[in-house]
Amino acid sequence: MDTVDTSDVASPLQLEQQEDTPSVTKFACKKCRCVLFTSDQLMPHEPEQHQISARRKIKDLKHNVGAHVACSSYFLEETLPWMDEALLAEGKIHCPTLKCQSRLGALQWSGSQCSCGTWVTPSIKITKSRRRMQRRQTHRQSRDDRNARSLHLGI
């Protein structure tokens, strides 16, 4: 009877740890799946980072006592090459695919407030519900996923 050496196959725990490693995430249009931007192009912000957020929170406390408000949008650090030149004043951001053209978000140079209460300037905002997230996998991760599934299924 031959024995199979499984020492080079990743365990489920190792696969979870690989997923936790920082990697580039691609964000695509929900409708046509055209890649729009990556996680490297996002502007990080902290909830309640600015004084203006205190006013928003006081108003929201009447409605949501003790509830944490999550961000409903992504903010980009700068405009992207596919964005329409007409938007540079202020306007709506649409998918760059000619057949799709679905609305993705808005651009306001004066800034806008995130749902978490933070004021973000400039505001190049993509609504989370209008995009799709795609994790980038390395060749090794894909092979390890197949090997783990094979072991799990007994193949």
pLDDT at 122: 87
Q: Which two tokens stand for residue 9?
A: 């196959």
Q: Which two tokens stand for residue 85?
A: 């030149």
How many whole angstroms separate alpha carbon 147 and alpha carbon 15?
Answer: 11
Domain CATH code at residue 43: 2.170.150
Range of the domain at 127: 25-135
Per-residue pLDDT of 42-88, as tens digits, reads 998 877 665 554 455 545 545 554 555 678 889 999 989 988 776 66
Q: Which two tokens stand for residue 25?
A: 């995430």
| 3 occurs within a structural domain | no
How many whole angstroms separate alpha carbon 38 and alpha carbon 60?
Answer: 32
What does the mean pLDDT of the chain come to?
70
How many whole angstroms separate alpha carbon 53 and alpha carbon 128?
Answer: 20
Same domain (yes/no): 83, 72: yes
pTM over 0.85, yes/no? no
